[in-house]
Amino acid sequence: MNRTELLENIRRKGSFLCVGLDTDIKKIPEHLRNVEDPIFTFNKAIIDATAPYCVAYKPNTAFYESLGVEGWSALDRTVKYIRDNYPDQFIIADAKRGDIGNTSSLYARAFFENMGVDALTVAPYMGFDSVKPFMDYSGRWVILLALTSNPGSRDFQFLSDMTGTRLFEHVIETARKWGNEDQLMFVVGATQGAMFSEVRRVAPDNFLLVPGVGAQGGSLEEVAKWGMTRECGLLVNSSRGIIYASQGEDFAEVAAAEARKLRDNMTMLLSAHGVI
Amino acid sequence: MNRTELLENIRRKGSFLCVGLDTDIKKIPEHLRNVEDPIFTFNKAIIDATAPYCVAYKPNTAFYESLGVEGWSALDRTVKYIRDNYPDQFIIADAKRGDIGNTSSLYARAFFENMGVDALTVAPYMGFDSVKPFMDYSGRWVILLALTSNPGSRDFQFLSDMTGTRLFEHVIETARKWGNEDQLMFVVGATQGAMFSEVRRVAPDNFLLVPGVGAQGGSLEEVAKWGMTRECGLLVNSSRGIIYASQGEDFAEVAAAEARKLRDNMTMLLSAHGVI
């Protein structure tokens, strides 16, 4: 999906919500645990219930990998299900990959050609040749880790050089030379609050993928205040707050209600910031 | 496998060779491409041929992931085969994972509990809580990216703070507070030559996993000169130079001959440095 289509979907739906499909076999409702392919069954129900309110889905691959071959197959089915039934949804594989050039090419093939997602999260530590192979696919996106939402983000991402430029700023500035805003987004955690204005100084037009709203404590209003551009420029992810909002038989309805609430909030923010 | 056992294997075999199982379906010999599970069949032959000359195997997960469910199953079989037939081999999953704490725990479960490898390569960018879950397994190892062998390593790893400390040094110094040398190794590329002495200043006792000898241009003598400790402290990886040394029906014999050559060189270096 290209940038124009993504922006159109955001305006049309009044939503920049990404639903995180961090599906944990131990957390899905009791009554689904013994069906065939419980992970896919759960995902399908969540997707059918939330699709009207979001513009993107983000499975984190760790949840599927931890189940081995069965997990990968559930992930494949999930991506295919979204693709076939909700072609206007942007699909992000949250895999945080990154390796030397010829190895990154293999990851790119795995996720873009075989699995068919729109975007992949990538770790920046290994530099140019570890990121570039993901940019060779037209209409596909690299979402580079810049400023993450976890406590450990303080360990290295804020280290400053002699001019006061911090590592996350170096990552953003350097990566923007590798690809344009039609193929490159950055991960910026919602817990970073006012840091969004500093991110926007170095990445004025790039989409930001924002985890950490809700369960991790980030505020949607704060993110929009500092991070929203005239076009929107945000994809805000919520995982646990939606998919595990109820553990009962009503889990899909309750997930839909939570997604709708976020969508309503987002519509207001898009309107307040003059995007729609 | 713990440090004592690993050091014992190195001394007994006169080798600190790690064979990289970067098995690419497009590069394995013609006659194997149509057998059942060609990737595992190839790996099994390589392992049987090289096991006398090496102390470790390192499958890079990208090669398996790029084949989808079938690839993961070949990787599982490969690890199990080594475990069952060569229990004195140290098995490294080169996966370069790293995510927020609860997600890293899932990766740890996938690789340490389900797949049963001894060690996993981990990316440092997200800091403490992204690395720590891998350290909660006794007798298992984190191998943290510090100074990689690829051209892009120059993009961020050498950035200096005001005191002149570079990012890779920060990563090593900080990570050494998270775990001791019985559970923490670092990746330092062979192409970094004399940088090994600077790595040893901050990581005097940790094992270093060294890719980039051979195909990527690093020299074994240089690595030993600057990086070897009194105990050895090195695992040097070779992938393409061994596993694709011949594309003919003799691929396994030729791989064994290449591994033996490297082992002979390593025995000399271990002896010259007083390790054996």
State pLDDT tens for residues A23-37.
999 999 999 998 999
Q: Helix A38-50 crosses helix A251-272 at what angle (to 10 degrees)?
A: 40
Per-residue pLDDT at A192 exceeds 90: no
Of all residues in chain A, the percent with pLDDT exceeding 90 is: 92
Placement of tokens 């140019």 in the chain? A128
* Band of pLDDT at residue A218, cut at 50, 70 and 90: confident
Name chain A contacts of B60, Cβ cutoff 8 Å.
Answer: 99, 103
Per-residue pLDDT at A214 exceeds 90: no
Q: Helix A195-202 crosses helix A167-175 at what angle (to 10 degrees)?
A: 30
Name chain B contacts of A157, Cβ cutoff 8 Å.
Answer: 125, 127
- Smallest Cα distance from A89 to chain B, Å: 23
B109 CA to centre of own chain: 19
Name chain B contacts of A69, Cβ cutoff 8 Å.
Answer: 69, 72-73, 76
* Band of pLDDT at residue B190, cut at 50, 70 and 90: confident
* Band of pLDDT at residue B215, cut at 50, 70 and 90: low
pLDDT averaged over every residue in chain A: 95
The torsion of the CA quartet A97, A101, A103, A104, rounded to 10 degrees, works out to 30
Phi, psi for A234 (deg, rounded to 5): -130, 145
Q: What pLDDT score does B125 carry?
A: 98
CA pair distance B44, B62, nearest whole angstrom:
19
Residue of A nearest to B126 (CA): A153
CA pair distance B240, A245, nearest whole angstrom:
49
ipTM above 0.90, yes or no: yes
CA pair distance A134, A73, nearest whole angstrom:
23
The active-site residue out of A13, A27, A58, A96 is A96
Tell which of B125, B148, B171 to mutate to test the A interface (max A CBs under 10 Å). Answer: B125
CB B182 within 8 A of CB B208: no
Placement of tokens 């992810």 in the chain? A237
Interface contact flag, B68 A60, Cβ < 8 Å: no
State pLDDT tens for residues B150-179.
999 999 999 999 999 999 999 999 999 999
State pLDDT tens for residues A157-175.
999 999 999 999 999 999 9
Interface contact flag, A150 B101, Cβ < 8 Å: yes
Q: What pLDDT score does A212 carry?
A: 84
| CATH number, position B190 | 3.20.20.70
Interface contact flag, B76 A69, Cβ < 8 Å: yes
For residue B85, what are its two tokens? 């037939």
CA pair distance B197, A43, nearest whole angstrom:
51
Q: Of B69, B76, B110, which is closest to A66 when you measure between CB atoms?
A: B110
Q: Of A100, A153, A174, which is closest to B150 when you measure between CB atoms?
A: A100
- Smallest Cα distance from A145 to chain B, Å: 8
Name chain B contacts of A72, Cβ cutoff 8 Å.
Answer: 68-69, 72
State pLDDT tens for residues A237-272.
999 999 999 999 999 999 999 999 999 999 999 999
Per-residue pLDDT at B216 exceeds 90: no
Name chain B contacts of A63, Cβ cutoff 8 Å.
Answer: 103, 106
Q: What pLDDT score does B191 carry?
A: 83
CB A123 within 8 A of CB B125: yes
State pLDDT tens for residues A67-120.
988 999 999 999 999 999 999 999 999 999 999 999 999 999 999 999 999 999
CB B7 within 8 A of CB B253: no
Dihedral sign computed on CA atoms, order A48, A50, A55, A60:
negative
Query: CA Rg, chain A, in Å?
Result: 18
Domain span at residue A172? 3-272
CA pair distance A217, A211, nearest whole angstrom:
10
Per-residue pLDDT at A232 exceeds 70: yes
Lowest-confidence range among A2-16, B184-198, B231-245? Answer: B184-198
Longest alpha-carbon distance in chain B: 58
Per-residue pLDDT at B248 exceeds 80: yes
CA pair distance A265, B128, nearest whole angstrom:
34
Of all residues in chain B, the percent with pLDDT exceeding 90 is: 92
State pLDDT tens for residues B40-98.
999 999 999 999 999 999 999 999 999 988 999 999 999 999 999 999 999 999 999 99
Q: Of B63, B150, B174, which is closest to A126 when you measure between CB atoms?
A: B150
Average pLDDT over residues B199-216: 91
* Band of pLDDT at residue A56, cut at 50, 70 and 90: very high
The active-site residue out of B44, B96, B132, B225 is B96
Q: Of B62, B126, B151, which is closest to A152 when you measure between CB atoms?
A: B126
State pLDDT tens for residues A5-22.
999 999 999 999 999 999
Per-residue pLDDT at A215 exceeds 80: no
B73 CA to centre of own chain: 21
Please list, residue by residue across B183-211, b when 16 or more beta carbons sit within 10 angstroms of its beta carbon and e when fewer do: bbbbbbbbbbbebbebbbebbeebbbbbb
Q: Which long-range contacts (CB under 8 A, 24 or more apart) does A38-42 make?
A: A39/A64, A39/A67, A39/A70, A39/A71, A39/A74, A39/A78, A40/A74, A40/A77, A40/A78, A40/A81, A42/A243, A42/A251
Candidates A229, A228, A240; CA nearest to A58 is A240
Q: What pLDDT score does B249 carry?
A: 96
Average pLDDT over residues B129-141: 96
Total domain count for chain B?
1
Q: Is B96 part of the annotated catalytic residue set?
A: yes
Interface contact flag, B125 A129, Cβ < 8 Å: no
